[in-house]
Structure 1
Amino acid sequence: MAGPALLVYTRTTGYRHDSIPAGIAALRALGGFEIHAREDPAAIEEPLDRYAAVVFLSTSGEVLTPAGRERLTAYVEGGGGFAGVHAATCTEEDWPYYGELLAARFAGHPPVQPGRALVEDRDHPATRHLPPVWETTDEWYDFSASPRPNAHVLLSADESSYAGGTMGDDHPLAWCRTQGAGRVFYTALGHPAEAYADPLFLDHLRGGITWAAAAR
């Protein structure tokens, strides 16, 4: 029996991640969800109430029409779940509401390299399965400001474990928050295709998306 439906939106008008197909395949393989993967802006203009959550998977640039923005706003404010993965913070940069929704904007990154992620919440579904110090390889996003004032941080970066971080001691990587009646989850991880074969990362995604989808 199919589980709750997710709209996995992967439109890009900027940089396109080679890992998007691996991400879609991984979400399908997680089980428990019926995945509707779409690229066209019409996907967000259509009624969204049938979805437990909308997932922006490494979207980039301006990816929504004015009608899509209105539809997404009403959906989240009315109790819909939203999850952003990796480059979702490089998206809709001229739409203030979207910046508030995700609570942070992408500012840059050093080269892909190994580093350490520190779990801040040992009880949340997105992080409770992780070791307290998670050693992984990814593209360690920096943000223009910490989302901490407006979000509950789940995972942060240990900048001493890799080269090129710019945020210092307060460098969130994954967080969650509420927006209206909806729930929002974001993880900065997920750049390399190999991430989507990592059981720890897959459990991180499953937990975060499941938490966001539970609002409906």
Structure 2
Amino acid sequence: MLLMLGAVLGLLLSGGPVRAESQYRLLVIAMPSKYHYEYVPVAREGLQRMARQHAFDMEWAGSPQVLEGDLGGYAAILLLNTPVEDLNPAQRAGFEAYVNGGGNVMIVHRAAIALPANSWPWYERLVGRTVGVHPMLQTAAVTVADRGFPAVWGLPERWLWSDEYYVTTNPYGVRITPVLNVDETSYDPTKIWPGQVAKPMGREHPVAWYHRPGKSRVFVTTLGHDVEAYRDPHYLEQLMGGIWWTATGLGEAR
């Protein structure tokens, strides 16, 4: 026993590798799709680095089959560009049960879209908005709408960013708190492919928000189309702030 204690003490004093105790468990579901697949290895590496730095456990899944198992141990589920229309009835039921039981969800970019529209009303209410079309990828000024929310602490007031700025509607009357807006005067919100029509949303055009359906916490960022986003420090800071709040409920200025 004395030898064992001595070995542990020696390891601590020598600065050897001692892993911090995990604060919570995060499940990331990242399913590749037609337009979103290159991001997977880059995002996985970045999120693994975050997990080590901020002492939480991250489990990575490339398939929705995990939703058919026991989800009770996860502080939050992150849907990272996941095309949710690919979930089968059992997987949808498992996910709904997790959320209805107080589970927390973070939704990133493509995962905010449920195709076709109105095919899964429960999920669209969870997102808080229904996504319609989006103009072509453009550079624009993203502005901070809620400086007290952790996802924007590391961002400037006006953030030069290039992305697909989703046009959204609120058919279910869900109340959200915008975290980031995009300034429509800084890009062309009508620039879209032939045969499609995009209309400006106006002064209030949220691209990230949060809300609390029931006992759950939900954070949504519609940013994150290009693989290079997952190498950008500001974008990763946004994700980390969203993960922290979604999993713990901490950090929000009151």
Q: Answer whether TM exceeds 0.5 for this pair.
A: yes
Trace 1:1-216 onto structure 2 (pairs within 5 A).
1=20, 2-12=22-32, 15-31=35-51, 32=54, 33-91=56-114, 93=116, 94-145=119-170, 149-164=174-189, 166-215=200-249
Q: Which runs of 5+ in 1 are unaligned?
A: none
CA distance in 2, matches of 1:12, 1:105: 21
Q: Which residue of 1 aligns with 2:17?
A: none
**1:75-113 deviations in whole A, cap 9, x for unaligned?**
122221100001011236411100000011221222222
For 2:6, the equivalent position in structure 1 comes to: none
Task: Decide whether the 8 Å contact of 1:116 with 1:161 is kept in 2.
Answer: yes
Q: What is the alpha-carbon distance in structure 2 between the residues aligned to residue 76 and residue 58 of structure 1?
A: 19
AA in 2 matched with 1:192: D
Higher relative contact order (CA 8 A, sep 6+): 1
Give me the whole-angstrom Cα distance separating, in 2, the residues matched to 1:213 and 1:206.
10
Contact 2:84/2:111 (<8 A) preserved: no
Taking structure 2 as the reference length, the TM-score comes to 0.78
CA distance, structure 2, for counterparts of residue 210 and residue 176 of structure 1:
13
- Would the alpha carbon gap of residues 204 and 145 (structure 1) be closer, same or farther in structure 2, given more than 3 Å must change? same
Deviation at 1:17, TM superposition (A): 3.9
Contact 2:36–2:225 (CA under 8 A) maintained in structure 1? no
Q: 1:173 offset after TM fit, Å?
A: 0.4
Structure with higher Rg: it is 2
In the TM superposition, residue 13 of structure 1 has moved relative to its aligned partner by 5.7
SS of 1:203's equivalent in the other structure is helix
Deviations 1:32-87 (A, max 9, x none): 33221112232111111111110110112513222222221221222211000010
Contact 1:10 1:38 in 2 (8 A): yes
Aligned-pair Cα RMSD in Å: 2.2
Shift of 1:14: 5.5
Higher strand share goes to which structure?
Answer: 1
Tell me the CA shift for residue 28 of structure 1.
1.1
Deviates more, 1:39-48 or 1:18-27: 18-27
